Structure formats: C-alpha cells, structure tokens
Chains A and B, each alone.
Chain A
Amino acid sequence: MIAIVETAVTLARLYGALGLAFAVAFVLLGIQRVDPSARGASWGFRVAVIPGVVLLWPLLALRWLRGRQTPVERNAHRAAATGGAR
C-alpha cells in the first residue's frame, strides 16, 4: 500500500515537473501560436494560465506540435450547419 501510494505520488510529481517545464516554454513561445488572442497578452495573464498548463500540458503540447489553433465548439446546430449531415 505504501509503495503504491509513494509510486503514485512520484508519478504525479514527475507529471507536474514536466508540466511546469513545458508551461514556462509554452507561455513564453507557444501560447500565441495556439491562441491568436494571446498575442501581446499581459504577463499577468501568462502567469495566471500556468497552473492550468501544468495540469493539462499534454493537450496543449499536442496542439502546439500539430500547429493547431483554438478549436470551435461542437453542438447540434453547428454540426448541422457545417456538416450538412442532417
């Protein structure tokens, strides 16, 4: 039990440490590529998103790597309007 919890805590810390390293690079360089609204954004904003980047960094890393930008939401009307599948 102790070994399991210690391993889980270590893995969580590793994930967080990688996330933090990624977050620093992301808020400096990547964020404006992923989201055009972040171009010229304030320092306060960049610091404010760091906790979230540390938690969700794989998602943003993939998006940055693939050169994708802010997605558009999906709902019934949008699907019907753009897909024409209704």
Chain B
Amino acid sequence: MSVSYKAVQWNRQKLVYDAVLLAALGTYLVGFHQLAPRLDPNVEPMNLRMRAFGSAAFLLLHVVLSIGPLCRIDRRFLPLLYNRRHMGVVLCGLALYHADLALTWYHAYGNLEPVVSLFVSNPAVGSVARFPFEWLGAGALAILVLMAATSHDFWLANLTAPTWKALHMGVYAAYALLVGHVALGALQTNTHPGLTAGVVLGALWILGVHLVAAHRERAADTPATAGADGWVEVCAVGEIPEDRARVVFAGGERIAVFRYDGRLSALSAVCQHQNGPLGEGRIVDGLVTCPWHGFQYRPDCGAAPEPFTEKLPTFDLALRQGRVWVNPRPHPPGTPVEPLPVPGAPGGEAA
C-alpha cells in the first residue's frame, strides 16, 4: 500500500455485503425474540436477549469459518471472502454484548467486581454439569476482540501478512473454546435434541470442510522434482489458459506461471496483502489480480502498479520441447524478467 489509509474503503460490493449481513442478523434476532418464548414461555427477557445474541455470534462464527475452506473448494464462494473481516467485527460485537448481558445479569449485584466474580464464583472445574463454561467464553472473546481490533489493512501491513495470519488463526482456538462454552453451558441444561443436533452437525461441518480443504492444499504442495540443472518442469505450454496461471510448488513455496498476450511470466504465488492464492487469480487489464481482494501486480516484474509499493519475487522461465520449465531460484521482489514468448501465439514469436 502507499495510498493513504481510510477507516473503511467503501465500495458498492462492501455496502451490499454489509447490508445483507445486517439484514440477515436483524431477521435472526427478531425471529429469535418471537419464536423462543413460544418454545419456552418461562424464559426471562434478559436470558432471551442473552441467548439471542450468543447464538447469533456462534452461528455467525460457523459462517465465517466456512468461507475460507469453501473458497478453496469452489471459487464461486469468493465474493463471501472479500469482506469477511466486516463479518468478524460484527461477530465480535455480538459476542461482546452477550458477555456484557451475562456479566450484568449474573455478576453485577454481588460484592465483587463483575469481571472478578466471573472468574472466582464457580471453581467447579472437576464437574461437567457445573463446569465454569464462562471461562471458555471469556477466552474466546479475548481472541475475537484481538482479531477485530487488528482487522484493518494497517495491521496486515505492519504485522506482515504471515504474522497477521498466524494471529488470526487464533479463531480456531476461539472456535474450540466456544464449542466447549456451549457444550458445557447451554447444552447441559437445555437437553432439547434439536439444539444438541445443531451443535454436533455444526462441528462436523466445520471440521469436514476444513479437513477437505487442508487435504487439497497438501496435495497441491507436493514439491515438483527438479531436473539435473535444478530447474523444475511446470506443464506443457498449451495447458496454461490465456490470462490464467499454472501453479507449481518449488523453492519452498508456490510459483504461478501466467500466460497473457502470447507470453509467459512467473511470480511467487502469495499475494503480499493477505497472502492470497495469486496463482488462482487472473490477468485483468494486463495485471495479475489476486482472487481475494483484487490486489494487482505487473506479471513481468512482480511490482504493484504505482502508487502501490508491493513487490513479489520473480522467476526465470524456459521452453524445452514445448514444455515450460521454471528456475526455482527467485529474483529479489520486483526484479523485471523478460517474459517468455509462446511460440505460435499472437503476440508471441513465430514457431
């Protein structure tokens, strides 16, 4: 980035995304307040609101956690990923309100401070039914707050994407804590089979899509075997579609070989913004475009167009008997490499 930060870079897509998100959330909360008292006429208004916001946060966490793996499995889910951080911030808000209600309702009227009372009033860690499940919720909330507070692009740039990702993978710990929070909390007293089935199916779904995605990623990360000179074979030149890339794992990371205007160029396939999978992006207006948030790079040198400053390592390519080979030894980020002409292609050299 080298364009001044804004609080939110609003555009039409983000506005529509947020409007749909808030409308769905409003519908759920209103529906919960209407429906739940019919199922349980004795429910307290305070408890009703606590459950409405807590369950909304837990459900939204399932949605947030589904987006990543679904995008790895099918690119039609990519529009959901584009503005996922707003969903995370909204989720954090729901969880904070749920926690505030619980603190007020159960801990505000004693002789200890509510937050102290939360951690000392129930030491039954050895019991399942009486386990202090609030501690698990508090742990998850701390992670969600840290993630929401560091969701701006400023943090991506200043922590660097790999560190930021590591921090935000804390969401998996938050998820595990929240499953515990629900299983040892709500599920201990509410034995309705529908609620139990919902939580169990939700966990199976989250684990299932993540395991499928992880399996596919592992398969894609099989290192390519290098030739005698250390170069690595990518594919036949005809296998790369126009304005798209083929990806090969070499040099400890993925390399994307793009074909455009009858030429070939190779870049390190991790976007500098959020480490998105550049190799699954397209060439748009002559620039490699990340499928996640649309960050762009010039294919011949790996540099983002002015005034942006991101730069990616570049690689040398060669054609050997109609097949594309790449040298896995990278050039420093932003180094121009003469594109390799595709024989017989318009714009390329004659065969």
Contact = CB atoms under 8 A, between A and B. Distances in A.
Interface string A1-38: 11001100100000000000000000000000011111
A80 B329 contact: yes
A77 B4 contact: no
B7 A35 contact: no
Interface in B135-160: 145-146, 148-150, 152, 154-155, 157-158, 160
A44 B8 contact: yes
Given A2-B112, A9-B113, A75-B270, A45 B154 contact: yes
Given A39-B4, A80-B251, A5 B119 contact: yes
Contacts of A56: 150
B120 A74 contact: no
A73 to B, nearest CB: 4
B158 A71 contact: yes
Nearest to A43: B7
Given A45-B7, A47-B7, A72 B160 contact: yes
Interface residues of B, number: 44
A63 B160 CA distance: 14
Nearest to B160: A73
Which of A41, A44, A81 gathers most chain B CB within 10 Å? A81
Given A1-B120, A70-B158, A80 B149 contact: no
A72 to B, nearest CB: 7
Interface in A50-78: 51-52, 54-56, 60, 63, 70-78
Nearest to A50: B149
Interface residues of A, number: 39
Interface in B161-199: 161-163
Interface stretch (B58-66, B71-79, B330-338): B330-338
Contacts of A2: 112, 116, 120
Contact of A41 (B5, B313, B335): B5
B115 A9 contact: yes
B4 A37 contact: yes
6 contacts: A5-B116, A45-B7, A52-B154, A52-B155, A55-B150, A76-B252
Interface of B: 1-8, 112-113, 115-116, 119-120, 123, 145-146, 148-150, 152, 154-155, 157-158, 160-163, 251-253, 255, 268, 270, 272, 275, 313, 329-333, 335
Given A2-B112, A55-B149, 7 more contacts: A1-B123, A35-B154, A36-B2, A40-B4, A76-B251, A77-B268, A78-B313
